[in-house]
Amino acid sequence: MHGSINDAGAPLTLEHISRRFGDTLALDDVSLSIAPGEIVCLVGQSGCGKSSLLRIISGVDTADSGRILLNGTEIAGANSFVAPEDRNIGFMFQDYALFPHLTVEENVAFGLRRLSRREASARAAEVIARIGIQALSGRYPHTLSGGEQQRVALARALAPKPVILLMDEPFSNLDRGLRERVRDETISTLRALGTTAILVTHDPEEALSVGDRVVLMQAGRVVQVGTGYDIYDHPNSLYAAEFLCPCNRVEGIYRDGRVETVLGTFPARLGLPEGGKAFACIRPQALCLSGPDEGLPALVVNRSFLGEIEELLVRIEGVADLLRLRTTSRIDVKPGEPIHLTIDAGGVLIFAAA
């Protein structure tokens, strides 16, 4: 569905969206189409344009060029602009933005002012039950935990039955364990309801685990779109590879379909001229401990125990930067001790230096 214009039946279609703030091009010709019931994650470095795109979709900000279609109807373009409150787009903010003077039930019903009081109350009760927060109905936001506030914000966003739900870093204020649990519950709820959603995150692990598709952005542009597996296993640029997983970048020379580096020679399909510069991007899990009579000699500089995995920083002669090794095995080595390493070529990605 990526990048196609006027996709039939698409809840949301973006066509050539651009936005400039002074000398900064925040969004640069972004086109994207979202399928019904699809959860799409926008991810990228801070300042890449993720939140700017959400604001334009919601109507809080306007694009300098391009247009937006909601269920096939133009809601923003050169000659049209539908006000945010008339777009039927749900929005979950990072800080939840609950009204402190309203109860949970009143917060959820707040966006239902076009319904009669009786209808609004019934719809609010229905969504509250669906989210499983009936016990919170009469309470005020300041008495709720962060996870409870997040669930209330979700119920309020879903109550008007939006065409699409926009979520801007909705789990970032929660502690890690709670964040994962609330995120899983939220995504399960959205899938059960068939809700179409866009989630903005700076966390590549969150994007890879949550999104039906991941949209990777850089400097206002969409640089790669695909499933989490697609873009992790086949990143189309050094930026994508290094953003999605910390890599050991080693410079090499392209010769006869291979890239020669101080760590070894790796097959590559780059179409570079002979002698052209390239980078081998070696994922930390591709570095493996070997016996003393095989592999590359290295020196352990630091060792970090991270629970599920262990990470070593090692120095190899001829390589300027320290290399990062990650493994689920327990390694009985200390900083300053020598080791030997082999490299799993399946964990090496090759890119042109340009």
pLDDT per position as a tens digit, 14-71: 999 999 999 999 999 999 999 999 999 999 998 899 999 999 999 999 999 999 999 9
Number of other CB atoms surrounding residue 337 within 10 Å:
11
Q: Containing domain of residue 91, as a range?
A: 12-240
Task: Tell whether the model's pLDDT for residue 95 goes beyond 90.
Answer: no
Q: How confident is the model at residue 338 (pLDDT cuts 50, 70, 90)?
A: very high
Indicate whether 316 and 179 sit together in one domain. no
Rounded CA gap, 267 and 130, in Å? 53
**pLDDT, mean of residues 307-320:** 92
270 within some domain = no
Q: Three-state SS for 311?
A: strand
Indicate whether 46 and 102 sit together in one domain. yes
250 within some domain = no
pLDDT at 332: 83
Under a CB-based contact definition with an 8 Å cutoff, are residues 112 and 90 in contact? no
Q: How confident is the model at residue 151 (pLDDT cuts 50, 70, 90)?
A: very high
Q: pTM for this one?
A: 0.90
Give whole-number Cα distances, 105 to 29, 99, 142, 279, in Å.
41, 11, 14, 56
263 within some domain = no
Q: Specify which residues 312 forms β-bridges with.
A: 303, 325
pLDDT at 266: 93
Nearest-Å Rg of the Cα atoms of the chain is: 24
Task: Tell whether the model's pLDDT for residue 89 goes beyond 90.
Answer: yes
Total structural domains in the chain? 2
In degrees and rounded to multiples of 5, residue 206 shows phi and psi of -65, -45
Q: How confident is the model at residue 119 (pLDDT cuts 50, 70, 90)?
A: very high
Rounded CA gap, 107 and 93, in Å? 14
Indicate whether 309 and 225 sit together in one domain. no
pLDDT at 53: 96
Query: Based on the number of CB atoms within 10 Å of its own CB, is 302 exposed (0-12), middle (13-18) or buried (19 or more)?
Result: exposed
Query: What's the mean per-residue pLDDT of the chain?
Result: 92
**Is 210 or 2 the better-scoring residue by pLDDT?**
210
Q: Three-state SS for 61?
A: coil
Q: Which residue has the tokens 């050094």?
A: 238
Question: What's the pLDDT tens digit per position in 126-146?
Answer: 999 999 999 999 999 999 999
Q: Three-state SS for 307?
A: coil
Indicate whether 236 and 282 sit together in one domain. no
Indicate whether 95 and 16 sit together in one domain. yes
pLDDT at 42: 97
Task: Tell whether the model's pLDDT for residue 6 goes beyond 70.
Answer: no
- CATH code for the domain in which residue 168 is found: 3.40.50.300
Distance of CA 22 to the CA centre of its chain: 27
Rounded CA gap, 169 and 178, in Å? 15
pLDDT at 7: 55
Task: Tell whether the model's pLDDT for residue 4 goes beyond 50.
Answer: no
E runs forming strands in 71-145: 73-77, 80-81, 89-92
